[in-house]
Every structure is written in structure tokens, then in C-alpha cells.
Structure 1
């Protein structure tokens, strides 16, 4: 064969092969096209819908292929191929994280082309963000076959909400968690096929026709939680309520502040109600009698109301009841309320926060053969565990926290099904029985804040392989386990605060790889932290090693702790520079250690979730870095007792959530930044013992109206005290002492009304903050504020009782003028210190109005005059210093004043009387209120008075009589005058007697005539 013919043959063969491949591909493509179910018109409609939506997360990425029936969220009918279901709901839960939930949301608007899907039966757009847009206008034929509509949390407007009344075949309607404001609900009555309706978290406060929703003939589930429902003034007439259907009905009207006038709503449906939730309303009195007719009731929630007295007996006769929640009410008697057939049906009983006292209630609940969960938390139960708890039980959850139960723990082996046990905040004592180790199903154990004591050994945990939570904190327990002990459990929450785990770091913690909260504070652990400890679980959310004796330097923690975490390493002996922490730390408490150097490593914390930063009582130095603007959620900034210098950065003004700034005892200088006025939530501002200078800014009073504590003590402020500080109506402690302030004390101090009103006597100034976050489960921590306070001449640091004080301290300045009388209106003032100034004038006369005053220091001024008598009315006064003034007169006698030492009055040369040795002159004794001394003064005065009267009488007598004896002519004239006076008086008496006699005779004749 020639080469040419061979080539031609090869070419023909290749052409044939290509043709075969082409035919095969065409056949395959034809076969694929024949399998496409999507109707092209509906495919085009869905693409139009997609164009109107913003899909940041790519949820609709599959919306492009030819077969729309295979797109995510789309389902077609197997019979007609029409699109019958469109599920675009954002079904991520908040447990997946806020960021994940938000980024998965669809945005934009709903395209009216949606209505071309006329076979649509199921539509879910929930969990998206349409940002106040409206649902397209529904005409008569639009979505006429729709059975299911879910628009929960979609951000839609209520502008044309009434149009949903045209969806006559709708059976499921969820419009909850949208900002709807609805005045009428008449349109819902057109949905005669509706079985499920959820309008929860809408604004229905004007929708007075809401009771008509119960007339829907096939309704099975109605949810109106937190709708601000208007109260029912007169009982509604609902005679046809639910008359068509015999199906059971569930009703949720919780969180609406409804009153007992709502009860008639249920009169015609009592026998059909299986689930009734009336939580958090304004129901009062006893549970009404008609509840006995709820013969199908399975779940009843009447919690958070004002119901009370005893639990009615008829509840015990509802034999179907499985869940009963009467928590946060006023029930005080348990028996005979729940003693019928309910003992065989009830599975969950919640009586949290009621005024039950008798612990015998525990004996009664052991009779409930089906009971799985019992919650008696925060009642007033006293006594001990009853012996009936030794019986076998099906309990899986037992919560007795916050009572006053005493005695030792019982044998727990009979509670073999127990998964949750909380006995914290009681008064249990004695040892922990090893029967705890037999609870093989136990997952969560809380026993903190009791008086349990003794040894915890491996035997206590031998069978607790399912244990996840262990909280034995604040007891007197000693852990005695082997260094080689490998626990049978993997804990997620460990709290052993102030249990004795030391002195060595507990080795068994190394075996725990899944914990997200670890608190072993105050556990007697000393020495350095082993390297293996820092191989922490990646989802650690809370770490507390405070109040131990840990030493050494900390490693770089930025890569070791990745979750949103709260860290407390305070009150140890850590040293060296601050480590680099994770960018998303929520709280960082490193106080009372030996850290040194700069704080610039903290600039790595950039996530904006830091809420507490406490670096106080360390050796840190240098200027503050300008990175505050990262910490938008910061509540507490405590840098006290370090060596910081320079000024406060202007960026501190960006911390709009800030409530505490404590820079006490550093070397900060310069003026206060004006940006600080933006921190309007500040309650605690302590800038004491620094070198700040300039004038005290008036904007403190104008912009920081929430201040409770203000201390600028021991700085270099000058000028007048601004009157604007009087605008701080919430201020309890004002300390401007040890500066160079001049001028007069403001006359407006009586506007500091927190020092007048006795409404808030709570002693602790504390803040609640985000301590940790795990899968969006938040754990709240508390931060208690502490400060140094001048008290009775000495300085003390207060914490728990700081809020009780009402203090004004202006000592050690250059103030002049008089003490304003208005200061005596501050009736709750406890400490007043004006010493070391140049004040003149008198002590206010009404100083005795300060009835709560315990410490008064006016020493080293130029005060004059007497000490007011009203000072003796200060019955709580235990410290007084008036030394080195120009006071004079006698010291008032009083219950407290004479118990104070003489040193309180030295330097006043004209003072006299107890308690000083100088005696007062007698002329001052009339000022004494003392009874004995006053009697002596009166006797002395009487003697001199009578002596003076005698001398006066003798002088007058001999002045007249002596003259008459020595001069005859005067004596003759004197007796002649007496004769004339005698004759004149005689004639006058004769005439007066004759007239009187004549008048008596006339009256006698008139009386006789009247008698006739």
C-alpha cells in the first residue's frame, strides 16, 4: 500500500471517529435536556427574583444551571414540574455566631415577579434583612395556592400587611419579630383555613380586636408573645370560638401585661386547650376556678405574675398536666394543691422564687412518679433534706439553689437518673458523701457557696464519665487526688474557686481538653505555671487564676487563646513585661502583680469587645499609647498605683461606654483632655495623686451628669471651684482636696441631691460586663469598684461599702470666705472636710441638721465666733477637728462632743470648758444647758438679785424718811398733805357707798315685780 493511500485511509478513519463522538455528544445532550424538569418561564422568574436580592454569602450560587428544580431552596412538583416550594430562609441559629447569621442574610427587595409562581404552596423568607421594605401587593390571583408563609425576622414593613387576608388557603403564617405596628387585625379573620399564627414581638397596642383571632375556626397554635396587647376592658363575646374544629389548641399570650379581665377569652375553649402560656402578665389573686375545666391541658405557664396564697386543689385533678410553671409568684402553700392524679402525669414542676418556707415540700414531690425536673430555686426553704429522698426517683434535674437548707447532703445514689443538680447558695455543711460518684448520668453539678468541708477524693468522681460542669467553689474542700489521676470525664466548665487544690498546680487539669471556663482562683496554688497548661483549648472563653501565689513571666498568649475570652490573673506575683494577648479579649484583670514596662502590647486588642481593663497595683510605666479608639465597649479603665506619666490621650473621648476611669497614684500631668466630656456614662472618675494642672473643667458638671465618685485630690489644679459641679445630682463623693483651688465655696452645693436623698443606700458600686462568650452563650461578670477615702483623719481603701459614703472634701486648698449655710442642707452627708484653707466667719448655726455626719474637720482655718449649740445634735459624730482657728466661748455640751479628745480644739485660745482643761469665766455659765451647773448659776443669780433689792429698798426708805426727820417744814407739809388725802378719800367712799346702796334697792324692786 502506498504512503498516500495509507494517509487518506487514516484521515477518513479520524473523520468517522469525530462524527461518532459528535453524534454521541448530541445524544447525551438530548438525553440531558429531556431530564430537565424546570419550566423555562418559572426559571426566568426566579432569576428576576435573584437579581433583586443581595447575596453576600453565595447562598444562591447554584441559581444558574438550566434545571431550576435542582437549585438550592427550590422544589418542584413531581407531577406538574411547577415550582411549589421556595425556601430562602436564613436557618442559621444564633449559636452559629452573630457574624455568621448576619453574613448569611439576603438583602434587597422582593421582586413582584414572585407572583408568577402561581403553583407556589410554600414560601419562607425568614431571617433575612429587607430593611423596612414592603411585601409586593397581592392581587386576587397572586399566590392563591399558598399554604405556608414565613416572614419571621425579615425586616419587612407593615404598610400593606392587610393584603395577607387575600391568601384564603393559608394554613401557616409567621410574621413574628418584625417592626410591625398594627392597628387592626380584621384581615386575619379572612384566613379561615389558618392553623398556625405567630405575630410575636409586633406592636399591637392599638389592635383592640385581637381577641377575635380566637374565632378562627381551625386555629391550633396562636402566638402573641410581647405584642403590647391592649387590656380587655369588658369581657368579649366569643360564643363561636373555635366551634368548627375539635383539634387541640395552644395559646401563648406571654409578656403582655394583661390583667385578669382576659380570663373570659377561654370560657368556650377550656376543654381544647393543651398548652397555655400566660407568663409575665399582671394576673392577681388566686388561680380562677374555670381552670378545672381544662381537662386536656398538658402545659401551663403562669410564671412572673402576682398570683398567690395556696396552689388550688383542682390543679391536682388535671390528669393530663405534664408541665406546670408557677415561678415568680406569691404561692406559699404547696399542699393540698398538688395531691391528685397529677402525681402520675406531671413531668416538669417549676416553683422558682415563691415564698415557700417549709422544706417538707421536698417530701411531697417525691410522690410524683413521673417527675423529671424540679425547680425550687430561690425560695425560703429551710431545714434539711427529707428522708424520703432515699427512694428511687426518675428525677433528671433538681434545682434547690438559693435557699436556706442546712445539714449534710443525703445519700444521692437513689437519684440514679439525675443529670442536673444545683444546691448552690445554701447552708449545707459536713462532708460530701461518696455516693456522688454513683450518679453515672450526672452532667452538671453546682454546689458553690455552702459550708461543705472535708476531703474530695477520686472516689467522688469514679462513675461520673458524663460530667461536663463541676462547680464546688467557695466551700472548705480539700482536693486529695493522685498526681497520676486521670478523671473519667471531660469538663467544659470548671469552677473550684477557694477550694484547696495546692500547693502545686493540679496535674489532672492537663487531661481536660474541652473546657471553655476555668476558675481555680484562691486555690492555694503557688510556684510557676507549667508549660503544658498554656496549651489551652482553642475555644477557651474564661480563665481565672487570681488570688493564688503564682510567679514567673507569662508567654505570648495571642496565639494560644483564640476565642472571645475573659482573663483574670490578679493578686499573684507575675512579673516582667505584659504579654501580647488575643485581639478579642473581653476582660483583662491583671491587678496586684509585678508587671513592668510599657502597656503598648495591649494595642494588639483590636476586636472592640474589651469591656474591663484593670492593670492597677503594678510597676508599669511610660506614656499611654494612643490606641484607645479600638475599645468601643470598654466600661472600666483602672490604671491606679503604677508609674505612668504624660497626659491622657485625646482618643479616650472615643470610649463612649466608659463608666470608670481610675488613674490614682501615677505621674500623669497636663490639662484634662476636653474629649473626656464625650464619656457621658462615667460614674467613677479618680484622678487623684497625679500632677494634673490647670483649672477644674466646668464641663465635668455639664457633661458627666452620671458621676457618683469624683476625686481630683492631690494634683495641681488652680482657680475657682466651678459652680457647674453643682449639676452633678448623682454625686456621692466629691474630693478636690490638696490642690491650689482659690475663691469661695460655691453657694449651690445643695443641688448635690444624692447627698440629700436617702433613696439609694446600696453600698456596692459595681458593674456587670461580658465575662465570656461561647457559641453566643454569654456569661456575665461583676466588677466591684474600690477607692481610697479620707475617713476620720486617716485614709482607707473601701470596696464593698464605698457607695454608702456621702463625702465632701475640699481640704488643703486656698479657699476663702465663709462656710455657706446651704451645706447644712446636705442631710445625708457623712464626711465634711474643709481643713487647711483660709475660711473666715462663723460655723453655720444649723450645722446640727447634718444628722448623719460622722466626721467633721474644719481645722487650720480662720473661723471665729462660738461653736454652735446645734453641734451637740450630731449624735453619730465620732471624729471632730476644729483646731487652729479663732473660735471662742464655751464648748457646747453634748452626747458626742465631750468624748472627743482635747486635741480637736487646740489652737483656739478663747475656747473653754470640757473636754479641754481651760475653765470658763462665771459670766459664761448661763449658757450652759447642763442641769447641775445651771442650778448653781440660778442660785448665784438669786443671791445677787435679792441683795440688790434690799439695798434699793433701804436707799429709798432712808432717802424719804430721813429727810422728813431732819427738816420740820417738809415734815409739816407732808402731814398736811396726808390729812387732805384722808378727807378726800373719806368723802369719795361715802358717796360711792350711797350710790351702790341705791342701785341694789332698784335691782331688788325689779326682781320682785318680775316675780309677780
Structure 2
């Protein structure tokens, strides 16, 4: 009935004998008094289902309850975004057996009247905003302690420890996932719930040991993923013969896993032990008692040999043995995989060998990750409907033209980076309209970019750095307007930087054209990149003046933490096209970039969203450094070195208080160092060398903490830390203290030495601090008092 409209529900008055009303999916957004109309017009109603009906908010005032509603046995109002407290009226429906209020926005708790529900068997309040101590919450269900069989309170904000569930003797399914529960399992947990068939505590902070659950021989579903469990896994888990789903991933369990842990698990279909510290000690001739559908053992120690017991698993659709310490040649029998395989992850091992023809070995829409291994040979033929392919960080060689053989592609993710691939990038990208990510970095690909790349209207990341690509960027590329990451560094691209990069790629967060042969001016249109975090044009042949519009870089001017989230692409969103698969263990793809950071080239991945930098170094740029650059108060790294910049250092540079690295060396800058430079508290890298700066280096711990090389090559510059003193300064004397009358002494925690503090002004000192263990000032990072006095937050400290 989806797409139908139910109007205002006044038509219900024509059906007074209705016992069953199911309007699931009907639009009831106009029915502002729906509850009153139902209760007054349907005295015999037993079953009410208004799920997905767009019921209006807020929930209308509840009239005095019609006593006839006491015959109602089932109510389903799920998925309506209702946002009030849960109605007290539900607690007066004394015949209620099933109540489903899931996927709304109900707040608070359940009313005390729920204690009247002595026949209640199923209660689903999952995915709301309920907030209360779980034990107190359950006290309000005292009336149904003998009848309640299914209780789902998942995805709320319930707190406290796991209570004693012995009062609910008939409970068969218990879901408390994604709440805020803490503490260990109660000791009573080992004796209760003999009829329990499903237990879901996923996504809490439950700690301690796993309980012995052998008393619950009916248990079929056990999900304890993403908690804080530690210790070992009792072998008694292997006696749960009816268990089909076992998930203890993302905990802190440490154990040696043997055949005994699986001895009687003949019904097991889903196994997830990922991301614990588990070592598998399984004999090579072991034959498992189960046939698994999903196998997830990421980061478990399975190697060094390839696990031979997998040869007896013939039905799985998903296999993840990434990071399993396997350093073996993959046996030929493994590649003859089950026909329904849709997800294969062998990444982060040291597996070796040739990869066979994949075109006939997977079902539709597979995802394949063989990255970070030692596979070699040609890129294999691929399934015609491959959805995600990651062969990065291997030893594959030869051409990548085989991807053109994919004629019915649903490809979303392609990563062939860090191999030995050569030849041209093929010109067949018009066949890949769903493609979001291309990473071909760190190969030896050559030639020009094919124009068909411009047909990828959904492309969000294009990473081609460190190849031998050349020529000008094709104008068709401007059609890729969804790009967030564009990394073309380390190639031989040439030509002008086209203005359409700024006008068409307005969603860019990372733009790296470093180490190419681009020439000419930096176009003013670049300033339209409002979301930019990383802008790297270093090591090119750019010339002319920089545009004076840097204050348009909104993400560098204003703090907006949500911007960094755009760098991540959630595999769940990209890969799950409605297939009935659980992609919880798919990792988030984070774009990486090679940047010049603190004088070294570094590749950033997971922390890339936190890095905000501009690098124009090693070009032929001239004129003054635009004063607008001082408005980039969120910038962490600025490198303008090795150019022909003239004029003074921007006077307001002290506004850029998050700067950690500043390099203006090898230019023709003149004048004094601005006093505001001393305000950059977090500065750990500074290079002003080889300019024409003059005068005295401003006094502050920050600027005096750097090595003299940071200021060298400026003949007219003087003062500490340079050896040449400024006129009027006597050799060996310390700068005069400016006393403020608040001198004091501080007792050190680690001894009886005293520190004298003399305050001298307004500058905050470097984070390079003093003796550790001071209880009174945050002074402790590292400086030897014997080398002289310490200046911190405008004060001078020295030992007496």
C-alpha cells in the first residue's frame, strides 16, 4: 500500500466492526487526531499496524481511554519518527501481547502503567532516544515478568550494569545492543534464561570475562561485538550445539583457540572473532563440524601456514582473514571458491603466488581485497560485475588494460596502487559510471590521461601520484564535479593550472599537483575551493604573484569539524546496494596523500582529515606573500620556501595560532621578524633562513627554542639563538627581566629544589617545558635546567 494516502482517517467511522487494521506504508500525515479516531470508532479492534505511515508529530493529546481498547492485543507504530514520551495509554491496554514502537524518537522511559501489561510477550522499543538506568527501566515491566519472551531495547541510551534477568523466566530473545551498559556479566547470568535463543549486547562497554553459557542450550544467536571483554574464551562455548551466529569481535580477548572451542558447533553459520588477540592452534587435518556462510577472522593469528581447514568450507559467501600472519603461498585448491562468494579479504598478510582468472569464480557484485601481500604476475581477469577491487601493495606487473574487458560493470572502488604496473591508462572509463574511487598511485604508468575519465560523474577520489604520466590535463576532467580528493603529484604533467579546477571542483578537500611541470600563474579561481584542507602546488615551475583571495578558503578560516568527515567514504554506503549482507566489518576508505611535512615526505591516511596545509614551495613565485594568508587561522602547516617572494613577513601572522610548521626560507623577504610570530604557541618547526631579514629576533621562549639554523643566512639578523649579538647587548648577559610583582616559588614534586618564577610580559612560551612532575604548572616536556633559565607563559624559571 506504499504511496497511498489515508487522509484524515475520519472514514474509520464506517467500519465499527473492524478487528484488524493494517495501513502499513499508507501516508497518514494529515491524520492529526489519529489516536482518538482509532479509539473512538473501532471498539472491537484487536490488531493495529500503522508502521511507516508518517504519523504527524507531536503525538496528539490522548483522550480518556475507551474501555473497549482493552481488547487490543497487538500495536505496531514503528518507523514513524514520533518524538514524545511513550503514551501512558499503552499501559492501559491490559490485553496487549505485542507492542512495537521501534525506529521512532521517543524520549525518557516507559510509563509506570506498563506494569499492568501482564500478557505482554513481545516489546520492541529499539532505535529510540530512551534514557534511563536499565535496572529501573525493567522494574516497570514487573507485570510481564512471566510472559515476556522478546525484549528489544537496542540503540537507545540506557545505562548501568547488566541486571539480574531471573525475573523474566520465559525470555527467548534479549537485545540491548548499542546502549551505554558497563561492568561485567553478573554471576547470575550463568544460571538464568534456560530458554534464551538470542542474546545481542553489541556496542556497549561490557567488561570482564565471557560467562559460561552452557546452561542456555537453546542459544542460537550470540553477538557481543564491540565491547570491552577481556580474558580467555571458555571452551564450553563449543557445547552450544544449536548456535548459528557467534560474534565476539572487537574486544580485548586473549586466548589460544583450539578444536575444542568448536567441538559441537554443528549448526554454526556465522563466525566472527575479528580484532582480538587470538591465536589459532588448529591441527592441519582438522575437519570442522560446521559449514559456515560467513567467516570473519581479521587480525586473528592463523599463520604462518595457510589454514588448511578452509578446504572443507564449501558454502561461505564472505571470507575475511586479513592481518592473520599468513606468509605462505596460497594453495591452488583455495582459488576454486564457492560459487556464492561475494566478499573476499586476504589483505595485510604476506601471501604469495599467482592469482588465477577471477572472471568465473565469484557470484554477482563481489568485493575483492588482496592488498598488502606479495602476489605477483598480471592483473587477473575480473568478474564482469565486480563491485570493489583492491590489489594495492603487491607485485603485480604489466598493463591494466584488462579492466576494459569488464563490460557490465558495477565497479565502485578500484585500487591498484603500489605495484609495478606499466603502460598507459586505458581509455574505457565510460563503462564505469558508478565508480567513486580510483587509486593507481605508485606505479610506472605513462602517457596522457584519457579523456574518458571525464565521463565519471560520480568520481570522488582520483589518485595517480608517483607515476610517469605526462601532458596537459584533459578538459573533460572538469566534468568530475564530485571530486573530493585529486592527487596528481610526482608525475610529469605540464601546462597551466586550469581555472576550471577551482570553478568545477568546489567539493575538493585535497588537491595535490606537487612535483610536476606545471607553469604560469596560480589562477584566481583556485580561491573558490571553499572546502580545501590540503593545497599542494610545490615543486613546479609556477611564476607570478599569488592571488590575494586566500581568505575565501572557508575550511581554513573557520572551524568546521564536519569537513574532515567528508574525506572518509563509508563502504557500507558505497557497497551495500540492498543486498542482504552484513558489511559491518568493511573498513572506511580514507584517502591518503603524500605531503611535505616538517621537512620530510610523509603519506597520511587515517589522520588526513586533521591535516590542514598549504605548500607552494620550490617554484618561481614572486611579489609579496598575500596578507590575506594570516586569516587562515585553522592552518597547521605553511610552506612558501624556495621562491622569489619579497617584502615583509605578514605582520598579522600571529593570528595563525594553530601553525605547527612554518617555512619561509630561501626567498628575498626583508624587514624585521614580526613580534606577533612569538604568539604561535604550537610552532615546532620554523625556518626563516636565507632571506634578507634584519633586526633583533623577538624575545620569547618560542622563538629562542629553535636552532640557530632556523635564522641563518640573514646577515643583518641578530639576537638569541644566533651567535651575533644585537647592538647594545653585552656578550654573555641575559635579557633584562620585566618584573610584575608576582614572583613566587614553586615546590617540585620530585625533590626539594625550588624554582624561581619571574614574570616578564605577555608572550606564551614553547611547549618545550621543564622539570617533570610539577603539580602547579604544565611545565613538563623536556628542558635541562642546567642549560639555563626557562621561559614559560611569559615567566622565567630557574633552579635555586
TM-score range (shorter-chain normalised) is 0.7 to 0.9
Alpha-carbon deviation of 1:333? 4.0
Count of aligned pairs between the two proteins: 731
- The 5 Å alignment of 1:325-474 reads 333-334=136-137, 336-338=139-141, 340-356=142-158, 358-361=160-163, 364-391=164-191, 393-474=194-275
Alpha-carbon deviation of 1:679? 2.0
* Bigger CA radius of gyration: 1
Which of these residues, 535, 560, 583, is aligned with residue 779 of structure 1? 583
- The 5 Å alignment of 1:205-244 reads 205-211=29-35, 212-217=37-42, 218-231=44-57, 235=61, 237=63, 243=68
Alpha-carbon deviation of 1:230? 2.7
* Matched-pair contact (CA < 8 Å) for 1:235–1:262: no
Encode CA deviations 1:222-250: one digit per residue, 9 max, x unaligned: 333333333358636577x585x875353
- The 5 Å alignment of 1:657-806 reads 657-760=458-561, 765-769=567-571, 770-771=574-575, 776-777=580-581, 779=583, 781=586, 782-806=588-612
CA distance in 2, matches of 1:348, 1:593: 49
- What secondary structure is seen at the aligned counterpart in 1 of 2:445? strand
* Matched-pair contact (CA < 8 Å) for 2:112–2:140: no
- Structure 2 vs 1, CA of residues 465 and 249 (structure 1 numbering), >3 Å: closer, same or farther? closer
CA distance in 2, matches of 1:728, 1:189: 60
Alpha-carbon deviation of 1:558? 0.7
CA distance in 2, matches of 1:566, 1:930: 68
* Matched-pair contact (CA < 8 Å) for 2:135–2:160: no
Q: 1:304 maps to which residue?
A: 127
* Matched-pair contact (CA < 8 Å) for 2:222–2:247: yes
TM-score normalised to structure 2 length: 0.86
Which of these residues, 679, 683, 687, is aligned with residue 881 of structure 1? 687
CA distance in 1, matches of 2:136, 2:71: 35
CA distance in 1, matches of 2:93, 2:454: 60
Alpha-carbon deviation of 1:748? 1.3
- What secondary structure is seen at the aligned counterpart in 2 of 1:300? strand
Alpha-carbon deviation of 1:195? 4.1
CA distance in 1, matches of 2:157, 2:250: 21
- Structure 2 vs 1, CA of residues 805 and 873 (structure 1 numbering), >3 Å: closer, same or farther? same
- What secondary structure is seen at the aligned counterpart in 2 of 1:424? coil
* Matched-pair contact (CA < 8 Å) for 1:834–1:857: yes
Higher helix proportion (structure 1 or 2):
1
Q: Which has the higher mean CA deviation after the structures are superposed, 250-259 or 860-869? A: 250-259
- Structure 2 vs 1, CA of residues 462 and 287 (structure 1 numbering), >3 Å: closer, same or farther? closer
* Matched-pair contact (CA < 8 Å) for 1:195–1:219: yes
Matched, 1:251 2:51: no
- Structure 2 vs 1, CA of residues 836 and 653 (structure 1 numbering), >3 Å: closer, same or farther? same
Q: 1:620 maps to which residue?
A: 421
- The 5 Å alignment of 1:990-1001 reads none
Q: Which has the higher mean CA deviation after the structures are superposed, 534-543 or 387-396? A: 387-396
- The 5 Å alignment of 1:803-822 reads 803-822=609-628
CA distance in 2, matches of 1:378, 1:262: 20
CA distance in 2, matches of 1:601, 1:728: 36
Q: 1:848 maps to which residue?
A: 654
Encode CA deviations 1:841-896: one digit per residue, 9 max, x unaligned: 11111100001000001111111110000000000000011111111000111222
Alpha-carbon deviation of 1:738? 1.2
Supply the RMSD in Å over aligned alpha carbons: 2.8
- What secondary structure is seen at the aligned counterpart in 1 of 2:595? strand
Alpha-carbon deviation of 1:445? 0.9
Alpha-carbon deviation of 1:356? 4.9
* Matched-pair contact (CA < 8 Å) for 1:196–1:220: yes
- What secondary structure is seen at the aligned counterpart in 2 of 1:817? strand
TM-score normalised to structure 1 length: 0.68
- Structure 2 vs 1, CA of residues 804 and 274 (structure 1 numbering), >3 Å: closer, same or farther? same
CA distance in 2, matches of 1:302, 1:477: 35
Gaps of 5+ in 2: 742-800
- Structure 2 vs 1, CA of residues 260 and 497 (structure 1 numbering), >3 Å: closer, same or farther? closer
Encode CA deviations 1:91-115: one digit per residue, 9 max, x unaligned: xxxxxxxxxxxxxxxxxxxxxxxxx
CA distance in 1, matches of 2:740, 2:168: 79
CA distance in 1, matches of 2:523, 2:165: 66
- The 5 Å alignment of 1:153-168 reads none
CA distance in 2, matches of 1:886, 1:255: 68
Gaps of 5+ in 1: 1-174, 311-330, 936-1012
CA distance in 2, matches of 1:696, 1:349: 61
Alpha-carbon deviation of 1:913? 0.3
- Structure 2 vs 1, CA of residues 724 and 509 (structure 1 numbering), >3 Å: closer, same or farther? same
- The 5 Å alignment of 1:91-106 reads none
- What secondary structure is seen at the aligned counterpart in 1 of 2:302? coil
- Structure 2 vs 1, CA of residues 366 and 652 (structure 1 numbering), >3 Å: closer, same or farther? farther
Alpha-carbon deviation of 1:360? 4.5
Encode CA deviations 1:549-573: one digit per residue, 9 max, x unaligned: 1112111111122332111101111
Q: 2:377 maps to which residue?
A: 576
CA distance in 2, matches of 1:353, 1:774: 21
- The 5 Å alignment of 1:631-642 reads 631-642=432-443
CA distance in 2, matches of 1:665, 1:459: 50
CA distance in 1, matches of 2:139, 2:11: 47
Alpha-carbon deviation of 1:493? 0.8
Alpha-carbon deviation of 1:259? 4.2
Q: 2:745 maps to which residue?
A: none
CA distance in 2, matches of 1:411, 1:551: 40
- Structure 2 vs 1, CA of residues 929 and 273 (structure 1 numbering), >3 Å: closer, same or farther? farther
CA distance in 1, matches of 2:656, 2:494: 33
CA distance in 2, matches of 1:509, 1:642: 34
CA distance in 1, matches of 2:638, 2:249: 42
CA distance in 2, matches of 1:725, 1:297: 64
- Structure 2 vs 1, CA of residues 929 and 786 (structure 1 numbering), >3 Å: closer, same or farther? same
CA distance in 1, matches of 2:46, 2:624: 78
- Structure 2 vs 1, CA of residues 847 and 551 (structure 1 numbering), >3 Å: closer, same or farther? same
- Structure 2 vs 1, CA of residues 355 and 436 (structure 1 numbering), >3 Å: closer, same or farther? same
